[in-house]
Amino acid sequence: MPPKSKLMSGRREPVPLLPSVCCTARVRGPALDPTSEHAEAILVWFQDEVSTQLEPVTEQALAVVEWADIATDASW
């Protein structure tokens, strides 16, 4: 989805804007290191409206994220 843009004072080109709603999720999954209890990651994304369901573009983007690339091992 291309970003929305707004022409700002003093600029010749429109400036890209983030959607107005910032969403976060803290997810827990399998540990990367066998000596850890689990791994965690915090995901952040932006969307146009408050919703209890992911927008399809967000769901598609999250589906290709590799756990090992974003997770950090943790223990209680």
pLDDT digits (tens, 9 = 90+) for 24-34: 999 999 999 99
Residue 10, both tokens:
């003093």
* Contact yes or no for 44/62 (Cβ under 8 A): no
Helix count (H) and strand count (E) of the chain?
Answer: 2, 5
pLDDT digits (tens, 9 = 90+) for 12-50: 888 888 888 999 999 999 999 999 999 999 999 998 889
**Overall average pLDDT of the 57-62 stretch:** 92
With a CB cutoff of 8 Å and minimum separation 6, the contacts of 18 are 3, 46
Task: Identify the band that residue 67 occupies on the pLDDT scale cut at 50, 70 and 90.
Answer: very high
What was the pLDDT predicted at 14? 84
